[in-house]
Amino acid sequence: MRKSVLFVCFGNACRSIMAEALARHYWGEKLEVASAGVSALGYVPEETIHVLEEIGVSTEGLYSKGLNEVDIDGFHLILDLVLYPLEDMIPPSFEGKLIPWHVRDPFQGGLDSFRETRNTIEWLVTEKLSEWIDGE
């Protein structure tokens, strides 16, 4: 059975969207990935799309969605990129692992801010994610 990861941030427009796209890029079919927001912004800023595409990461199918649109129980791991108290939003039936890992929000910060956040998330996805997946 494939492992699955849900990336969560506040608006599901920058951080968690980047994490979803980067995880798909690096993990391919080995890992099922999705993203959601505590309070979905409803759109993905052009800067998010730009900084992903400039390094050759596909942005196809990415859209801003809320936690209520995702079957949380279906995931092995939830990565909380905003350090929001998600415990009250996760059903008691969730049997996976919740890992808090704050990543700075680049929203309204310009392309360099988005690039810094992308680079941080790229490191998280390529270096740290395998530790958490394998450590289950």
CA–CA separation, 82 vs 30, rounded Å?
25
Q: Give residue-wise pLDDT tens across range 87-106.
A: 889 999 999 999 999 999 99
**Boundaries of domain holding 95:** 3-134
Measured CA to CA in angstroms, residue 30 lies from 6, 33, 111, 133 at distances of 14, 10, 31, 11
Q: Could you give the number of structural domains in the chain? A: 1
Give pLDDT, residue 15.
Answer: 98
pLDDT digits (tens, 9 = 90+) for 68-91: 999 999 999 999 999 889 988 999
Q: Quick check: 135 pLDDT over 70? A: no
Whether 12 contacts 35, CB under 8 Å: yes
Report the pLDDT value the prediction gives residue 116, as an integer from 0 to 100.
Answer: 98
The overall average pLDDT reported for the chain is: 95
The pLDDT tens digits of the residues spanning 10-48 come to 999 999 999 999 999 999 989 999 999 999 999 999 999
pLDDT at 14: 98
CATH number of the domain at 36, please: 3.40.50.2300
pLDDT in tens, 102-130: 999 999 999 999 999 999 999 999 999 98
Note the pTM of the prediction, 2 decimals: 0.95
DSSP for 20-37, please give it. HHHHHHHHGGGEEEEEEE
Q: Is the pLDDT of residue 133 over 90?
A: no
